[in-house]
Structure 1
Amino acid sequence: MTATATRVLVLNSGSSSVKYQLLDMNPDSGGGPAAGTRLAVGLVERIGEETSRLAHTPLATGGDKRETEGPIADHGAALKAVAAELSADGLGLDSPQLAAIGHRVVHGGLKFTAPTVIDDAVLAEIERLVPVAPLHNPANITGIRTAQALRPDLPQVAVFDTAFHTTMPEYAARYAIDVATADAHRIRRYGFHGTSHAYVSRKTAELLGKDPSEVNVIVLHLGNGASASAVAGGRCVDTSMGLTPLEGLVMGTRSGDIDPAVTFHLKRVAGMSEDDVDVLLNKKSGLVGLCGDNDMREIRRRIDEGDERAELAFDIYIHRLKKYIGAYTAVLGRVDAVAFTAGVGENAAPVRAAALAGLEEMGLAVDADLNAVRSGEPRLISPECARVAAAVVPTDEELEIAQQTYALVSA
Structure 2
Amino acid sequence: MHWSMVGVSHHRTPLEIREKLAFSKAQVSDALQRLGQQFPEAETVLLSTCNRVELYAAASDRVKLPQPEQLGNFIADFHHTDFVHVSDQITQLQNELAVRHLFMVASSLDSMIVGEAQILSQVKEAYELACSGDTAASLMHRAFQRATVVARRVANETEIHRRRISVPSVAVSEIASDFFERFDDKQILLIGAGEMGTETLRYLIDAGAKSIQILNRNAERSAELAQQFNAMSRPWSELDASMAQSDLIISTTSASQPIVSLEQFRACRAKRSARAVLILDLAVPRDFDSAIAELSDVYLFTVDDLQQVCDKNLQARQQEWPRAERIVDQELQKFLSESVHRNSGVTIRKLREQAELVKGQELERLVSKLKARGLDSQAEKELSIAFDRLVNKLLHPPLQTLREHADSNHHASMLDALRRLFRISD
Check whether TM > 0.5.
no
- TM score, norm. by length of structure 1: 0.31
Higher-Rg structure is 2
Higher relative contact order (CA 8 A, sep 6+): 1
Please identify which structure carries the higher helix content.
Answer: 2
